[in-house]
C-alpha cells in the first residue's frame, strides 16, 4: 500500500517536468519574479487589425497574471526590427535594447542567428514547451532547414494555401500545370506578390516543389548546377504563365494583403495566404465575399511555423520569456484558433495535450471558409534557405525590366 | 487722327457719378492736360481710355481713336501707350531689353531692332546703357527710358499719368521739354494728367478740369 | 543689453547648425561609411567600390534610376507649368486669402492619404471605373494598368495633386510682391496680350522667388517612398522604394548596397538640381531672344485654358480621393460594381476607437511641440534679419531648406546611430527634434514673404512712439502678422502629421502616430481602417487650417484692413 502510494507520488512527480526538475522549476520561478513589473516591447507586423487585437488581449492577460506589461511595436516589415537591433549592436548598446520580442521566421531568423543578435537558447526553459513536438524533424525545430536550437519559440502555424471566389470559379485548379491551363483560359485573373516579398518568394518555392523532378536536392544548400537543373521546368512553366498574369506580368502586388484586396475588388479570382484561417476571418470581417473558399494543390503545400525570438540585448528578456510561454499555453492557443478572435492554427501537438485541452479545441466553431486540418493536405518540407534567395535573385534577373 | 471723347462719364456701380460727362477732342501732336483735385478720378479716366477700368465702375459715352470706337477693342489692340509716375520699367530686363520689348513688331531682323533700340537710347541720353539694370538708373533716366519704350511701340495715342511728379523741380522742366518734344515729333494725340499747372502751361494746348 | 540682429541670427544659426546640420552630416557620414563597405557590425571591413559595383549590377537598377528621373522631372515640370497657367487665368479673381482658403483642403491632405484614396479612385476596380462600367459594359474590372503602371503616370498624377496647390500658394505669395496690375497695364499698352505678358513679364519675376520651393518639390518627387509604393510601378520600383527594399531585405549584408543606393539618391537630387539651374539659364537665353524679337501674340491663350481645366480636373480627382477614404471608413462591404458602399457601418471607427488613443495623443503632442519650436526659430531668424537691417542671406536659406533637399533615407538611418550613441533614441524628444528638421523649412517658406512685406514704416512709427524692439515685436509685428503666422502653423501641423520615416527611426518604432499606423495598416488588406486613420490625419490638418482662418477673422472682426490680409 505504502509502496503503491510512493510509486503514485513518484509517477506524479516524474510526469511533471517542473516538479521533476527542481533546477528548472527554480529558474522559471526566478524568471517570473524578475519579469514582474517589466514592459515587453513585442515588434510584430501590424498590418492585420485582428492580430493586433489578439496581441492586445495577450498583453491584458500577462499583466493580470504575471504583472508583465506588453506593448506592440507595429512593423510594416520584420526587417525594421532586425535593422534596429543591428544599429544598436553597431552603436555598442549591448544592454537595455529597445526590442524585446520579435515575430520572426525564415531568412530574418537566419540573419539574426548568424550575426549573433539573438538571446537564448530559451525554449527548453519554458514550461509550456512540453506541449510542443520538439523532435528534430518537426517544423518547430527547423526553420527553413535552419536548426532552431531553442533560439526561437513557436506561436502560430503557417501553411501556404490558395483562396478563391467560389462564385466565379467552380473547380479551382489543383496543381501548377492545371493553374497554367486555367490562367490561359482566363487571362489577367491570377497573380502573385512580388518575389521580394516573403509571400511571393514562397509561391515560387511552392511551384518549384510541384514542378521539379527531384525534391530531395532542395533540402541541400543550393549550387549552380543543382539550381539550373531543378529550375528548368519551373522557368519553362513560368514563361508560359507570365503573359496570362494580371497586368500581363508587368507589375505585381506588394504583398498578400494587397492581393487579397484585389480579390475582394474583383480584379483577380485567386489569391494566396500563409494562414489557412485568414479567409474565414476575412469573410467575418467583411473583407472578402461570403463565397470565398480555401483550396490547396493535390500534392500538398509548404508549411511552417511562425516564431518569436528575443534579441541578445533585450531590456526585458524575462518578461519576453513569460510572454512566449503564455503564447504556448493550451488555453491561449485555443483562444487564438477561435475564428472570432484570430483563427490562427495552433502549433501544439494534439498528442501531448491533456484531455480537457483537447476538448476545448474540438468545440471551436467552424465556418464555411474555414478548412479543417484534414482539408489542408500534406505538409511539404521547406527547401533550404539558400534556395529562396537564389530563386528570388534569378526571378529578378529574368523578369525585371 | 485724333482722340475723341464724347459725353464720357464714369459712375460707380451703384450709379452715383464719379465724373462727367466730358467732351474733348485731342488732335495729332496736341498735348491736352487733365487737372483736378485728388480723388476726382483723373487716373480712372485714363484707365477707362486704356481699357483697364475696374469692374466697380461703369463707363458711358464714346471714345474713338482715329474714328475707331475703342470700346470694342481689347487693351492691347487699342495701341494706346501709357506712362506712369515711377516709369514702370520691368525690373527683370535690362534697359535695352525693356526698350526692345516695346519696339514695334513691324521692324524685323535682330540687327535692325538692336540698332533701333540703340538710336532711341542715344536720343534719351542713355548711350551705352543697353545692358544696365533699370534699378541702377536715376529717376530722370528711368522716366526717359520709359518714355522711349512707349514711343518705340509706335502708339496711336499716349496717356501720361502724372509722369513728372516724382522728379525734383530742376529735373522736371528738363524732362517735360524732352517728353513734349518727342511726343510732338511722333505727331500723336496725348492726354496728360497732372497736379502741376506748370505742365499745362508748357503744353499750351487744351486744358480739362475735372471737378 | 538687448540682442542685436547679428546676435539673434547667430543664436538661430547655432541652433540650426547643432540641431539640423550636424545630425544630417552625421547621418550622411554613417551612410557613406556603409556605402564604401565599412560596416564592422555585419563583418564588412571596407571594400571600396565593390559595394557600388554590386549595386549597379542589381537587376532593375538602371531602369529604376531612369524611371525616377523621368517621374521627378515630369511631375515637377507639369506641376509648375499647370500652376503658372492657372495663376495666369485666375489671378485676377484670386486674392492671397481666398485662394489659401480653398487650397487649404488639398494642402492639408497628407500624402499617404491622397495616395491611398487616389489608388482607389483610379484603379480598374475603382470609383471612376465603376462610374463608366454600365456605360462601357464592363462585367469584371478591366485588365488595364491604371495604377502601378510601368511609366509611373499614376504616381505623377498623385504627386501633381499635392504639388500644384503648394506651388500655387507660393506663387500667390510671390505675386503679392510684384506690381502685377501696373506691369500688365504697361505691357498691354505696348500691344501685348495678357497671356504673353504673363509669360514674358510676370513669370520671370516670380521665378527667383519660387526657385527654392520648386527645388523642394523636385526633391520630394524624386525621393518619395510612401507614394512610390502605393501608386508607383513595382517591377522595378522607383529608386527610393528600390533602396528601401534593400534596407528591408532579410540578408543583412544588403544594407551596404542599400546605403550606397541612398547616397546615389542624394547624388541624383544634386544632378536634378543642377539640371534645373542649367535649364533656367537656357530658358533665360531663349526668353531674352524671344523678347527682343518683340512678338506680341501667340497661341498661348487656348493652352492656358486647357491647363486651367486640367488643374481643376486634378483638384476634383484629389477631392474624390479624400472623400473615398471617408466613405471607406464608414463602409462594411463595398464590392465592384457598387458606386456607394453596399453596407454602411460605424464598425471601423468603433474598432479603431479603442486603439487610436495613444496614436492620436502622440500626433497632437508632437505636432504642437514641433510647430511651436519651428515658429519660435522662424520668428527669431526673421526678427534677426530685421534688426540687422539686411535682407535674407542666400546661404542661410539653403541651410534651412537642406533637410528638404536630401532624401530622408540617406541620413535618417545614420542619424539614429548617432542618437543611439548619445543615448537619446526612442524618446519623444528625439522624434520632435527630427520633425523640426522638416517642419521648420516649410514654416519659413510660408512666413518669410509676408514678414518681409510688412510695411517698415509701421515699425518705425512704433519706435518713434517709444516702443523697444521686444515691444515692437510683441505688440506690433506679431499681431499684424497673426494670419500668416497661423497659416504657417497650419502648414507646419500638416507636415508634422504626415511625417513617417523620422517618427519611425527616431522613436525606435515605439512612438506611434496616426501616420505610422496608417502606413503599417496600408500594407494590410483593410481599406476601411486605413480610411479611418487617413480621415483622422486629414481632419487634424483641416482643423489647424480652420483655426488659421477663423481666429484672425474673429480677433480682427472690427479691423477691415487685417481681415483678409494674409499677404
Region A96-102 average pLDDT:
90
Domains and CATH numbers, chain B: 3-209 (3.40.50.300)
Is C521 in contact with C529 (CB distance < 8 Å)?
Answer: yes
Domains and CATH numbers, chain C: 1-33+346-567 (1.10.3720.10), 62-345 (1.10.3720.10)
Alpha carbon A305 to chain centroid, angstroms? 4
A37 with A129, same domain? yes
Chains A and B touch (3+ CB pairs under 8 A): no
Alpha helices in C224-254 (DSSP H): 226-231, 239-247
Q: Is C61 on the interface with A (CB under 8 A)?
A: no
Compute the count of residue pairs across chains B and C with CB atoms less than 8 Å apart. 80
Name residues 464-503 of chain C within 8 A of A (Cβ): none
Show the cell assigned to A199.
509571400
Tell me the residue range of the domain where A317 lies.
Answer: 2-157+304-370
pLDDT given for residue A354 in this prediction: 79
Task: Report the sign of the C-alpha dihedral through residues A264, A269, A274, A278, in that order.
Answer: positive
Name residues 216-255 of chain C within 8 A of A (Cβ): 229, 233-236, 245, 247-252, 255
With an 8 Å Cβ cutoff, are A401 and C150 in contact? yes
Show the cell assigned to A226.
543543382
- Model pTM score: 0.82
Spatial CA neighbour of C375 closest among C537, C495, C546, C209: C495
Is the pLDDT confidence value at C3 over 60?
Answer: no
With an 8 Å Cβ cutoff, are C527 and A267 in contact? no
pLDDT tens, position by position, C485-522: 998 998 899 889 888 888 877 777 778 888 888 777 76
From the CA of A272, how many Å to the nearest CA of chain C?
13
Q: Give chain C positions within 8 Å (CB) of A247.
A: 143, 145, 148
Packing angle, helices C239-247 and C255-293, rounded to 10: 170
With an 8 Å Cβ cutoff, are C251 and A389 in contact? yes
* Residue among A52, A111, A289 minimizing CB distance to C252: A111
Q: Per DSSP, what are the bridge partners of residue A379?
A: A301
pLDDT band of residue C525 (cuts 50, 70, 90) is low
Most confident of A81-90, A142-151, C505-514: A81-90
Q: Per DSSP, what are the bridge partners of residue C237?
A: C234
Is C445 in contact with C166 (CB distance < 8 Å)?
Answer: no
CATH of the domain at A231: 3.40.190.10
Which residues does B103 contact at the CB level (< 8 Å), separation at least 6? Answer: B113, B116, B117, B152, B153, C294
Spatial CA neighbour of C99 closest among C165, C197, C187, C13: C165
**What CA–CA distance (Å, rounded) separates C451 from C236?**
45
Cis, peptide link before residue B44, omega less than 30° from 0: no
A6 with A111, same domain? yes
Chains C and B touch (3+ CB pairs under 8 A): yes
pLDDT given for residue C523 in this prediction: 66
**What CA–CA distance (Å, rounded) separates B124 from C268?**
50
DSSP state for residue C216 in the 8-state scheme: H
Q: Give chain C positions within 8 Å (CB) of A87.
A: 413, 416-417, 420
**What CA–CA distance (Å, rounded) separates C176 from C313?**
26
A149 with A284, same domain? no
Residue from C186, C284, C291 to probe the interface with B (highest B Cβ count within 10 Å): C186
Q: Is A252 on the interface with C (CB under 8 A)?
A: yes
Q: Give chain A positions within 8 Å (CB) of C143.
A: 187-188, 246-248, 267
Using DSSP, state whether B32 is helix, strand or coil: strand
Is C454 in contact with C477 (CB distance < 8 Å)?
Answer: yes
Spatial CA neighbour of A98 closest among A110, A86, A111: A86
**What CA–CA distance (Å, rounded) separates A268 from A251?**
14
Percent helix / strand / coil, chain C, rounded to 5: 80, 0, 20
Q: Give chain B positions within 8 Å (CB) of C301.
A: none
Is the pLDDT confidence value at A367 over 90?
Answer: no
Residue of B nearest to C182 (CA): B88
**What CA–CA distance (Å, rounded) separates A83 from A304?**
24
With an 8 Å Cβ cutoff, are B101 and C186 in contact? no
Is C126 in contact with C67 (CB distance < 8 Å)?
Answer: no
Q: Is A15 on the interface with C (CB under 8 A)?
A: no
CB atoms inside a 10 Å sphere around CB B168: 9
* Residue among C245, C343, C519 minimizing CB distance to A196: C245
Pairing of strands B157-161, B190-193: parallel
pLDDT tens, position by position, A5-31: 444 444 444 444 444 444 455 688 888
Q: Tell me the backbone φ, ψ of residue B57, rounded to 5 degrees.
A: -115, 160
Give the CA distances from residue C548 to residues C162, C379, C496, in Å, rounded to whole numbers and listed in that order.
Answer: 20, 17, 16
Q: Is C355 on the interface with A (CB under 8 A)?
A: yes
Using DSSP, state whether A254 is helix, strand or coil: coil
Q: Per DSSP, what are the bridge partners of residue A190?
A: A270
pLDDT band of residue C566 (cuts 50, 70, 90) is very low
* Chains contacting C (3+ CB pairs below 8 angstroms): A, B
The answer to which of A48-62, B166-180, C49-63 has the lowest mean pLDDT is B166-180
DSSP state for residue C66 in the 8-state scheme: H
Is the pLDDT confidence value at C4 over 70?
Answer: no
Looking at every residue in chain C, the average pLDDT score rounds to: 83
With an 8 Å Cβ cutoff, are B84 and C182 in contact? yes
Chains A and C touch (3+ CB pairs under 8 A): yes
CA angle B66, B71, B76 (to 5 degrees): 80
Q: Is B198 on the interface with C (CB under 8 A)?
A: no
Q: Give chain A positions within 8 Å (CB) of C521.
A: 46-47, 49
Share of chain A above pLDDT 90, in %: 26
pLDDT tens, position by position, C73-127: 999 999 999 999 888 888 777 665 666 677 777 887 888 888 888 988 998 888 8
Which residues does C58 contact at the CB level (< 8 Å), separation at least 6? Answer: A396, C246, C257
**What CA–CA distance (Å, rounded) separates B62 from B22?**
10
Q: Give chain B positions within 8 Å (CB) of C294.
A: 100-101, 103-105, 107, 113
Give per-residue burial for C166-183: e unless 16+ CB within 10 Å, then b: bbbbbbbbbbeebebeeb
A226 with A93, same domain? no
Show the cell assigned to C425.
533614441
A50 with A79, same domain? yes
Cis, peptide link before residue B21, omega less than 30° from 0: yes
Q: Give chain A positions within 8 Å (CB) of C516.
A: 74
* Chains contacting B (3+ CB pairs below 8 angstroms): C
Q: Give chain A positions within 8 Å (CB) of C355.
A: 52, 56
Give the CA distances from residue A313 to residues C211, C374, C506, in Å, rounded to whole numbers and listed in that order.
Answer: 48, 36, 18
Spatial CA neighbour of C99 closest among C44, C166, C146: C166
Is A262 in contact with A268 (CB distance < 8 Å)?
Answer: yes
Task: Report the sign of the C-alpha dihedral through residues A17, A22, A23, A26, in that order.
Answer: positive
Give the CA distances from residue C337 to residues B51, C127, C320, in Å, rounded to whole numbers and listed in that order.
Answer: 55, 9, 17
A292 with A350, same domain? no
pLDDT band of residue A243 (cuts 50, 70, 90) is very high
> Number of helices (H) and strands (E), helices first, in chain C?
27, 4
Is the pLDDT confidence value at C44 over 80?
Answer: no
**What CA–CA distance (Å, rounded) separates C257 from A387?**
22
Task: Report the sign of the C-alpha dihedral through residues A239, A241, A247, A253, in that order.
Answer: negative
**What CA–CA distance (Å, rounded) separates C383 from C477?**
10
A247 with A383, same domain? yes
If one counts the domains in chain A, the total is 2
**What CA–CA distance (Å, rounded) separates A64 from A60?**
6
**Please, what is the end-to-end C-alpha distance for chain A in angstroms?**
82
A199 with A269, same domain? yes
Grid coordinates 506588453 are at which residue? A70
Q: Give chain A positions within 8 Å (CB) of C112.
A: none
Residue of C nearest to B95 (CA): C292
Using DSSP, state whether C514 is helix, strand or coil: helix
Name residues 75-134 of chain B within 8 A of C (Cβ): 75-77, 79-82, 84, 88, 90-93, 97, 100-105, 107, 110, 113-114
A334 with A272, same domain? no
Pairing of strands A146-147, A379-380: unpaired
**What CA–CA distance (Å, rounded) separates B28 from A397?**
81
**What CA–CA distance (Å, rounded) separates C14 from C25?**
15
ipTM of the complex: 0.85
With an 8 Å Cβ cutoff, are B110 and C293 in contact? yes
**What CA–CA distance (Å, rounded) separates A65 from A329?**
13
Residue from C523, C528, C533 to probe the interface with A (highest A Cβ count within 10 Å): C523
**What CA–CA distance (Å, rounded) separates C203 from C84?**
8
Which has more pLDDT, A396 or A355?
A396
**What CA–CA distance (Å, rounded) separates C443 from C400?**
10
pLDDT tens, position by position, C383-434: 877 777 665 566 667 777 788 888 887 777 777 767 777 776 667 888 888 8
pLDDT tens, position by position, C136-183: 888 888 877 788 888 899 999 999 999 999 999 888 878 877 888 889
- DSSP H or E run through C492: helix C482-498
Residue from C204, C294, C297 to probe the interface with B (highest B Cβ count within 10 Å): C294
pLDDT given for residue A192 in this prediction: 94
Name residues 253-282 of chain A within 8 A of C (Cβ): 253-255, 257-258, 260-262, 264-267, 282
With an 8 Å Cβ cutoff, are A254 and C413 in contact? no
A321 with A215, same domain? no
Q: Tell me the backbone φ, ψ of residue A103, rounded to 5 degrees.
A: -80, 115
A151 with A47, same domain? yes
A222 with A243, same domain? yes
Residue from A40, A49, A187, A394 to probe the interface with C (highest C Cβ count within 10 Å): A49
* Residue among C336, C516, C517 minimizing CB distance to A265: C336
Q: Give chain B positions within 8 Å (CB) of C290.
A: none
With an 8 Å Cβ cutoff, are B88 and C200 in contact? no
Amino acid at each position: 500500500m505504502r509502496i503503491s502510494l510512493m510509486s503514485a507520488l513518484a509517477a506524479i512527480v516524474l510526469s511533471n517536468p517542473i516538479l521533476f526538475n527542481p533546477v528548472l522549476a527554480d529558474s522559471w520561478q526566478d524568471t517570473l519574479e524578475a519579469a514582474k513589473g517589466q514592459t515587453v516591447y513585442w515588434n510584430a507586423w501590424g498590418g492585420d487589425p485582428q492580430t493586433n487585437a489578439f496581441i492586445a488581449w495577450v498583453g491584458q492577460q500577462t499583466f493580470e497574471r504575471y504583472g508583465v506589461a506588453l506593448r506592440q511595436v507595429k512593423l510594416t516589415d520584420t526587417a525594421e526590427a532586425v535593422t534596429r537591433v543591428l544599429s544598436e549592436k553597431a552603436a555598442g548598446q549591448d544592454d537595455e535594447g529597445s526590442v524585446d520580442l520579435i515575430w520572426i521566421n525564415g531568412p530574418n531568423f537566419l540573419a539574426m542567428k548568424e550575426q549573433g543578435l539573438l538571446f537564448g537558447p530559451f525554449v527548453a526553459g519554458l514550461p509550456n514547451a512540453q506541449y510542443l513536438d520538439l523532435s528534430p524533424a518537426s517544423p518547430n525545430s527547423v526553420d527553413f532547414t535552419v536548426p532552431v536550437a531553442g533560439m526561437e519559440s513557436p506561436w502560430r502555424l503557417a501553411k501556404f494555401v490558395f483562396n478563391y471566389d467560389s462564385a466565379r470559379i467552380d473547380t479551382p485548379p489543383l496543381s501548377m500545370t492545371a493553374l497554367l491551363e486555367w490562367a490561359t483560359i482566363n487571362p489577367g485573373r491570377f497573380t502573385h506578390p512580388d518575389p521580394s516579398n516573403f509571400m511571393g518568394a514562397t509561391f515560387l518555392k511552392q511551384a518549384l516543389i510541384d514542378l521539379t523532378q527531384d525534391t530531395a536536392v532542395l533540402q541541400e544548400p543550393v549550387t549552380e548546377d543543382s539550381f539550373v537543373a531543378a529550375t528548368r521546368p519551373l522557368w519553362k512553366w513560368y514563361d508560359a504563365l507570365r503573359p496570362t498574369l494580371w497586368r500581363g506580368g508587368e507589375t505585381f502586388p506588394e504583398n498578400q494583403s494587397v492581393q487579397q484586396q484585389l480579390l475582394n475588388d474583383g480584379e483577380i479570382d485567386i489569391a494566396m495566404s500563409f494562414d489557412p484561417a485568414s479567409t474565414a476571418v476575412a469573410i467575418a470581417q467583411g473583407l472578402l465575399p461570403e463565397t470565398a473558399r480555401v483550396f490547396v494543390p493535390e500534392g500538398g503545400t509548404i508549411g511552417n511555423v511562425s516564431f518569436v525570438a528575443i534579441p541578445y540585448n533585450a531590456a526585458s528578456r524575462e518578461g519576453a520569456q513569460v510572454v512566449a510561454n503564455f503564447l504556448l499555453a493550451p488555453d491561449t492557443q485555443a483562444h487564438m484558433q477561435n475564428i472570432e478572435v484570430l483563427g490562427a492554427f495552433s502549433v501544439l501537438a494534439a498528442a501531448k495535450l491533456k484531455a480537457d485541452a483537447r476538448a476545448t479545441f474540438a468545440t471551436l466553431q467552424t465556418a464555411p471558409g474555414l478548412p479543417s486540418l484534414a482539408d489542408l493536405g500534406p505538409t511539404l518540407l521547406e527547401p533550404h534557405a539558400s534556395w529562396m534567395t537564389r530563386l528570388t535573385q534569378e526571378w529578378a534577373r529574368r523578369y525585371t525590366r | 487722327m485724333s482722340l475723341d471723347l464724347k459725353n464720357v462719364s464714369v459712375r460707380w456701380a451703384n450709379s452715383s457719378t464719379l465724373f462727367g460727362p466730358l467732351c474733348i477732342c485731342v488732335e495729332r501732336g496736341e498735348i491736352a492736360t487733365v487737372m483736378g483735385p485728388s480723388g476726382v478720378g483723373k487716373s480712372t479716366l485714363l484707365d477707362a481710355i486704356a481699357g483697364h477700368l475696374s469692374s466697380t465702375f461703369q463707363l458711358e459715352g464714346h471714345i474713338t481713336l482715329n474714328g475707331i470706337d475703342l470700346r470694342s477693342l481689347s487693351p492691347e489692340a487699342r495701341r494706346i501707350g501709357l506712362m506712369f509716375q515711377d516709369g514702370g520699367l520691368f525690373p527683370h530686363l535690362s534697359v535695352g531689353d525693356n526698350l526692345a520689348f516695346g519696339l514695334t513688331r513691324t521692324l524685323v531682323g535682330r540687327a535692325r531692332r538692336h540698332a533701333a533700340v540703340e538710336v532711341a537710347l542715344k536720343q534719351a541720353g542713355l548711350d551705352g546703357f543697353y545692358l544696365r539694370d533699370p534699378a541702377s538708373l536715376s529717376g530722370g533716366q528711368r522716366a526717359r527710358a520709359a518714355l522711349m519704350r512707349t514711343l518705340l511701340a509706335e502708339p496711336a495715342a499716349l496717356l501720361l499719368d502724372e509722369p513728372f511728379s516724382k522728379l525734383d523741380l530742376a529735373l522736371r522742366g528738363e524732362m517735360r521739354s524732352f517728353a513734349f518734344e518727342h511726343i510732338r515729333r511722333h505727331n500723336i494725340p496725348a492726354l496728360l494728367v497732372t497736379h502741376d499747372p506748370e505742365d499745362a502751361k508748357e503744353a499750351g494746348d487744351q486744358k480739362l478740369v475735372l471737378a | 543689453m538687448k540682442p542685436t540682429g547679428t546676435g539673434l541670427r547667430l543664436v538661430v544659426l547655432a541652433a540650426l547648425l547643432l540641431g539640423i546640420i550636424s545630425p544630417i552630416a552625421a547621418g550622411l557620414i554613417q551612410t557613406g561609411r556603409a556605402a564604401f563597405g565599412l560596416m564592422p557590425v555585419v563583418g564588412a571591413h571596407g571594400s571600396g567600390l565593390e559595394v557600388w559595383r554590386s549595386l549597379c549590377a542589381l537587376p532593375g537598377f538602371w531602369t529604376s534610376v531612369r524611371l525616377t528621373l523621368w517621374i521627378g522631372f515630369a511631375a515637377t515640370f507639369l506641376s509648375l507649368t499647370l500652376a503658372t497657367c492657372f495663376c495666369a487665368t485666375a489671378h485676377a479673381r484670386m486674392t492671397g486669402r481666398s485662394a489659401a482658403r480653398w487650397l487649404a483642403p488639398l494642402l492639408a491632405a497628407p500624402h499617404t492619404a491622397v495616395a491611398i484614396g487616389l489608388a482607389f479612385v483610379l484603379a480598374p476596380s475603382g470609383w471612376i471605373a465603376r462610374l463608366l462600367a454600365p456605360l462601357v459594359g464592363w462585367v469584371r474590372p478591366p485588365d488595364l494598368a491604371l495604377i502601378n503602371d510601368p511609366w509611373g503616370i499614376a504616381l505623377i498624377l498623385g504627386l501633381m495633386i499635392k504639388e500644384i496647390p503648394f506651388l500655387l500658394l507660393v506663387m500667390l505669395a510671390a505675386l503679392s510682391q510684384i506690381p502685377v496690375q501696373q506691369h500688365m497695364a504697361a505691357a498691354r499698352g505696348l500691344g501685348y496680350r495678357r497671356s504673353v505678358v504673363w509669360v514674358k513679364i510676370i513669370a520671370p519675376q516670380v521665378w527667383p522667388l519660387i526657385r527654392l520651393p520648386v527645388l523642394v518639390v523636385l526633391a520630394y518627387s524624386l525621393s518619395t517612398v510612401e507614394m512610390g509604393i502605393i501608386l508607383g510601378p513595382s517591377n522595378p520600383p522607383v529608386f527610393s522604394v528600390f533602396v528601401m527594399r534593400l534596407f528591408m531585405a532579410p540578408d543583412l549584408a544588403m544594407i551596404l548596397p542599400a546605403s550606397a543606393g541612398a547616397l546615389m539618391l542624394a547624388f541624383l537630387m544634386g544632378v536634378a538640381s543642377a539640371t534645373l539651374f542649367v535649364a533656367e539659364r537656357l530658358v533665360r537665353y531663349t526668353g531674352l531672344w524671344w523678347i527682343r524679337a518683340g512678338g506680341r501674340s501667340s497661341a498661348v491663350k487656348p493652352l492656358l485654358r486647357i491647363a486651367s481645366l486640367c488643374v481643376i480636373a486634378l483638384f476634383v480627382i484629389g477631392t474624390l480621393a479624400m472623400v473615398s477614404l471617408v466613405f471607406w471608413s464608414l463602409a462594411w462591404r463595398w464590392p465592384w460594381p457598387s458606386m456607394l458602399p453596399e453596407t454602411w457601418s460605424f464598425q471601423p471607427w468603433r474598432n479603431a476607437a479603442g486603439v487610436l488613443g495613444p496614436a492620436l495623443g502622440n500626433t497632437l503632442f508632437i505636432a504642437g511641440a514641433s510647430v511651436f519650436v519651428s515658429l519660435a526659430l522662424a520668428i527669431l531668424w526673421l526678427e534677426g534679419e530685421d534688426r540687422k537691417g539686411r535682407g535674407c542671406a542666400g546661404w542661410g536659406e539653403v541651410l534651412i531648406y537642406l533637410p528638404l533637399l536630401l532624401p530622408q533615407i540617406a541620413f535618417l538611418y545614420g542619424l539614429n546611430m548617432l542618437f543611439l550613441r548619445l543615448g537619446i533614441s526612442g524618446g519623444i524628444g528625439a522624434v520632435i527634434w527630427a520633425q523640426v528638421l522638416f517642419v521648420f523649412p516649410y514654416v519659413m517658406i510660408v512666413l518669410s514673404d509676408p514678414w518681409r512685406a510688412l510695411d517698415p514704416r509701421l515699425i518705425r512709427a512704433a519706435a518713434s512712439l517709444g516702443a523697444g524692439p521686444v515691444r515692437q515685436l510683441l505688440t506690433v509685428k506679431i499681431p499684424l502678422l497673426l494670419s500668416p503666422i497661423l497659416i504657417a502653423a497650419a502648414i507646419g501641423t500638416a507636415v508634422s502629421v504626415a511625417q513617417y520615416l523620422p517618427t519611425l527611426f527616431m522613436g525606435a518604432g515605439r512612438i506611434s502616430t496616426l501616420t505610422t499606423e496608417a502606413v503599417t495598416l496600408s500594407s494590410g488588406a483593410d481599406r476601411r481602417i486605413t480610411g479611418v486613420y487617413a480621415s483622422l490625419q486629414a481632419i487634424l490638418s483641416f482643423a489647424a487650417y480652420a483655426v488659421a482662418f477663423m481666429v484672425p477673422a474673429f480677433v480682427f472682426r472690427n479691423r477691415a484692413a487685417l481681415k483678409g490680409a494674409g499677404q
